[in-house]
């Protein structure tokens, strides 16, 4: 199953994907940089900066800055990844920035009820914008 994350709320997407992964499906998520997180800009950035600053630079915990890795970490948080069942499910997940050449011709599916239109708030940030604020330039994740 291929899911286009454009204009989808990251938490709702992660919950639905985790459920499908535990059922045994293989899932690829494309356009991870276009997924959104709802809330005020300052609150979102403070939350992610705090997560990045936590721990020790050498010993961790290490939190991601790339948009595909942020989305992957959100899905991991909804899986029992310390058990074999959760690890196997997590290995069936692939997340991409943009649309890779191998998946150009394949049609993506939608999951009902998790798009921006179903949210009544106008405050949100895209994962690509969060990534740029955390110090990853667009050039790095486009190459």
Tally of domains within the chain? 1
Between 37-41, 43-47, 107-111, the lowest mean confidence (pLDDT) is in 107-111
* b (16+ CB within 10 A) / e for 107-131: ebeebeebbeeeeeeeebbbbbbbb
pLDDT at site 142: 63
Cα–Cα distance measured from residue 26 to residue 63, given in angstroms and rounded to the nearest whole number:
24
Average pLDDT, the chain: 84
Q: What is the largest CA-CA distance in the chain?
A: 43
Cα–Cα distance measured from residue 9 to residue 32, given in angstroms and rounded to the nearest whole number:
11
CATH code of the domain covering residue 87: 3.90.1180.10
Residues 57-115: tens digit of each pLDDT: 788 787 888 899 999 999 999 999 999 999 999 999 999 998 888 877 787 777 766 66
The range of the structural domain enclosing residue 129 comes to: 2-142
Residue 127 · residue 9 · CB < 8 Å: no
Q: Which residues pair with 94 in a beta bridge?
A: 28
Give me the DSSP letters along 20-48. Answer: HHHTT--EEEE-GGG-EEES-HHHHHHHH
What is the reported pTM?
Answer: 0.83
Whether the predicted pLDDT of 133 surpasses 60: yes
Contacts of 40 (CB under 8 A, 6+ apart): 123
pLDDT at site 135: 80
């Amino acid at each position: 199953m291929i899911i286009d994350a454009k204009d989808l709320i990251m938490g709702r997407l992660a919950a639905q994907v985790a459920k499908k992964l535990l059922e045994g499906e293989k899932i690829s998520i494309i356009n991870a940089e276009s997924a959104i997180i709802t809330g005020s800009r300052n609150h979102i950035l403070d939350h992610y900066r705090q997560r990045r600053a936590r721990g020790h630079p050498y010993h961790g915990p290490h939190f991601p800055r790339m948009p595909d890795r942020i989305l992957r970490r959100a899905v991991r948080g909804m899986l029992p990844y310390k058990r074999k069942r959760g690890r196997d499910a997590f290995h069936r997940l692939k997340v991409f920035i943009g649309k890779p050449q191998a998946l150009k011709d394949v049609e993506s599916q939608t999951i009902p009820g998790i798009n921006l239109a179903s949210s009544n708030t106008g405050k949100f940030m895209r994962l690509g914008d969060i990534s740029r604020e955390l110090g990853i330039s667009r050039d790095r994740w486009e190459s």
